[in-house]
Structure 1
Amino acid sequence: MIIELDGLSISSEQDFHKRIASAFSWAQYYGNNLNSLWICSVRTWSVRLK
């Protein structure tokens, strides 16, 4: 899986979190902060690696 985000179109931290949640289909439970990014990414990729 390759996810591309256009950094030029991201104008705020909130916008970044919105786009990353959408890209990974985390929108329902993503907390829109770096801690949530870490937790969701670990859960997503550890499940896929098993």
Structure 2
Amino acid sequence: MTPIQRHLAEEVALDHLDGLISRREALRRLGLLGLGLPAAAALLT
């Protein structure tokens, strides 16, 4: 994972925690960044 991808993934996780996007949308966006489902789910918890 590149530094840019890491930053974007953290922003998606923060948006989810702030209630701006649903968990489903966060998982979709993280998947587009190349994160697998287990890694994306771990980032959102």
TM range (shorter): 0.3 to 0.5
TM-score normalised by length of structure 1: 0.32
Q: Specify the structure having the higher radius of gyration (Cα).
A: 1
| TM superposition score normalised by structure 2 | 0.35
| Greater RCO (Cα-Cα under 8 Å, separation 6 or more) | 2
